[in-house]
Structure 1
Amino acid sequence: MASGIHVLCVDDDPDIRSVTAATLERSRSEFVVSTANSGRDGLSRLDGTESEPERPAIDCIVSDYEMPGMDGLEFLAAVRERDPEMPFLLFTGTGSEAIAREAISAGVTDYLQKGTGTDQYVVLANRIENAVEKRRAERARRESERELERYRTLVETVDDPMYVLDADGRCTIINDAFCDLLGVDRDRIVGEPIAEFISGEALERGAKTVYHLHESDRASDRFEFTIGTEDGTERVGEANVTALTDDDGRFAGSTAVVRDITARKRRERELARYERIVDLAPIALFVLDADATITWCNDEFADAFTEEIDALIGTPFPELIERGYYDERVISKYTDEVRALLSSSVDRTRAKYQVRFQSPDGEERIHDVHTELLPLEDGEFVGTIHAIRDITRRRRSQRELERQNDRLEEFASVVSHDLRNPLNVARGTLELHAEDCPQSGESIERVRWSLQRMDDLIDRLLSLARHGRTIGEQTPISLSTSVHRAWNAVDTADATLECDVDTTIVADEGRLQALLENLFRNAVEHGSTGSPSQAQENSVQHGSTDSRPQADDGVEHGSTSSQRGNRADDTVEHGPTSPDSSTEQDRSGVTVTVTVGPLEADASDDRPIRGFYVADDGSGLDSSVDELFEFGYTTAEDGTGFGLAIVEGIAEAHGWAVTARNGDDGGARFEISGVDVRDDRSGST
């Protein structure tokens, strides 16, 4: 039953007005009755409720028909002009079918004749109540429709995806943003279960969230869900959901505003990865604010102090200087570097400098510091981030290496001077003895070979001592040119060269030629293919060289015996033959071809392999590949075991890798990979 119904009773008879008002108020406690003595007075009362908001609004009018000046139907017409929906009951003592038809045609809500008893007042009260309830219900319906339309308009115009589901989980209202999020047209979604467009896990999570909202007093809650769009991409959404109920409190569905958090989740994952990397990185990191106070540091930084990490955070950096960890000069160095980074005349984004750190155990350590500015806020400096690497061991190793290099240089000088002089004396004395005792030819030859062998060993030791695994300046050079120069510098006898490279690489030219020379000697001297008797006579396996370093190695050469022969185009001296062979090794009938070519990519890999190879068509490798590059390893009686070790050292000094294997057509194949190859002479990579 309705409450607070304000009734305006209009009648020119004061007794009837009084009786009607009293009877209605007694019949319904919620009735409040006002009276007017004419239609014009009633209009004044009706208009007064609009101009005086404190007066209660009229919910229903009960009017007599026959009134002076303005009858009931005229009064009805005037009321309808003001409020077309106002319940208007014609309560008249004069009744006729004609009046009833006219009243109904004029839009009266109800028509009722007055009687002599109180029964008609009971009927009047019921009809008043029904009329008011009907109007209020209609008003509520229209208001609900207007509210729904406002919500619909809101849903359609907001940028965030929104949807409304009924009690069965079907989409009843969606906006364009939600369609864009799903990547589906509106016609595909409206009326369909939301389960068609989200994962089962997301559906279960959403149902649980809505259920708990309906069972609790909370207005809204949120949950995350994954959306698989029709184009195959996957999006992550966060739904802020509200449960809907009907007038009786029963569950009627849900509505949600969705935020696409795909980018945020991606950033969170990236941040988590970065945090993990920072935690695992063996580098000390810390952050200073604009006042040089430590605002963050990792465990690697804190491990160098006696203070715990919580105690370090919030500590002004100057206090670490006062505690003796750093020298006072650190402050001026830091200030100068930060000022330079902030200067518009400097295009550097990072400062690098070294500081000395006094560890708690009293040991002085050297720290390599990298400093960067934190992003400026409104153009203002807010602090710096620092990465520290302890280079104490590296500095010690560098100093030790420098001392070793100095000792090696001294050793090379001693070898060059103090060993070559007596060796030259021995060689000269031997030649005099050969002239005096020509019958001792075989013995003389053996001694001559031994002296030459000593000379070769000295050359190799000098090369290792002076060059080791170091290289000079690297420049773009023609690989083909270096190949032919190295070939001409080696005693190749009857061997032939096939060069299939015409490219530019970046290398130390002198060291590259030394690498090629050693590979060529190895191929020529150990790749011979002749008669079985000759192969047995050679009895040499791959894995060593008997060659001497060349002039571009920077090696000092002593005097040579008259038995050495040089080709017209040779630029270096050649090593001796075995004492069991003739002075010029007999290679008649031997066919050795040395091939130089570019590396080819594996069929399973579309990326090119940067490098080249040197191969021969000899008998191949019999030794273990792992042993080939060891210093001193050789299977030849007159080999030094240095040649391939030098090849590996030169390659590693360039950052290259050298590997050995048997070629597809026989013979040994040495591959040099990781080379900086330029596609043309202009230097482009």
Structure 2
Amino acid sequence: MNGDLSYLIEDEIRASQIKTLVVDDDRDLADLTATFLEREQGAFETTVETTVAAALDRIEEIDFDAIVSDYDMGRLNGLDFLERVRTEYPDIPFILFTGKGSEEIASEAISKGVTDYLQKETGASQYSVLANRLLNAVEKHRATETVKRSERRFSRLVENSTDVISIVGESGAFEYVSPSAERILGYPPSELLGEWVFDYAHPDDRQEAMEKFFAAVENPEIQPTVEFRFNDPDGEWPVLQSRGRNMLTDECIQGFVINSRDISDLKEQEQALRQRNEQLEDMKRAISHDIKSPLSVASNSLVLYDETGDDELLQKVDRSISRIEGLIDQTIALVEQGTDVTDSDRISLTDVCTAAWDMVNTNGAELHIDNSREFTADPDRLQRVFENLFRNAVEHSGSDVTVSVGTTNEGIYVADDGPGIPEEDREVIFETGYTTAVDNTGFGLPIVKQVLLAHGWEIDVGESDAGGARFDIAGVEFVSSVYK
């Protein structure tokens, strides 16, 4: 402990009361010791007891900072007292202040954990010695307790931190990993020690992470932040954000300190927000483009009607209004899908497809359902998915189309025997507003994709065995393994 810190602690001790228990079977000697201690150091506040039993009771009542005890006190001596104190208070300063001294007693006292051993002498100077030794013992004890509290506080903070704190050597190997690693990364710290950090980074992210790390090793002024995918014990790749600081020259650290946190949820939210913003931009463009045409038809038709009185012009107005209403309905439907699924139930493919088919004007088209199985989903929103897929098949294929729905090991498929979707259009059919049908809004398939993404599923389009369109929905986890 350096001198400045020692003086600070001593000043703090002197400024506060040091509660001291003095135990001696000779009441006069005990009172004398207490009086001299209080006169010698104003910080001492003494309590006197003449038996070990009474002293033990008093310890239960008062939180003492130090104990001064005689040795020879009848049936229970000072060493018996020390032994009993140490069972409950292993660190409290305890000074054996005795007139019966011997190497044997001193040795036994040390073995039982005495803080100091002082033999009584004649003259008042002995009390100055006792006071200084008490003061030093209390100073050391309080300093030790302060360090322990700091260590416990630091340990609790590190264990419960939302970050993983690690120290990496100059070569990139883990030298320290905080206990939070097991909760956040899935690895106990002992399993990571000595491992090369970059072995856990995704191959596509490893080079950037290494370049930033070694640049900071060369230049301590650089404090890099790196985002990379981390290989956890389950083979998953959570996204970590790591902030580093070069402390290689710090004699206590001698390493590169890295704070890492799992930002996978944040990245997913950012991605969902980007998709939502892109969707809204697409909607804005589609609406501004598609709504102008029916508005123009309605407006010009009314002008001509005022001039000619031709009722067919009013029919054009009616069709234009219907077109605008359809755009509004589909826009509302798309916005209401959101990005989260909160109402899930166990449903069967047959039930949801039958309900959806009944809601579509199929004009004599046929529906075949194969290998129906059960899974968990939002029934209402998933029904809208199949309504839009069925409507898309009928509108682009005609009333003689056959739509087939079924399950595979990978998920669900919806296929038809219509003309299919040209390969060059398959990348854009899920964009808001895209359509090849004159009276279509172009919102049906974007709604399909949005609902499936909200379920955590993906959709892909290709060609069916009959040469028509085929939509494959991946990521569905079936509850039942039996086809129904």
Q: What TM-score comes out, normalization by structure 2 length?
A: 0.45
Greater percentage in helix: 2
Task: Tell me which structure has the larger Cα radius of gyration.
Answer: 1
Q: What TM-score comes out, normalization by structure 1 length?
A: 0.34
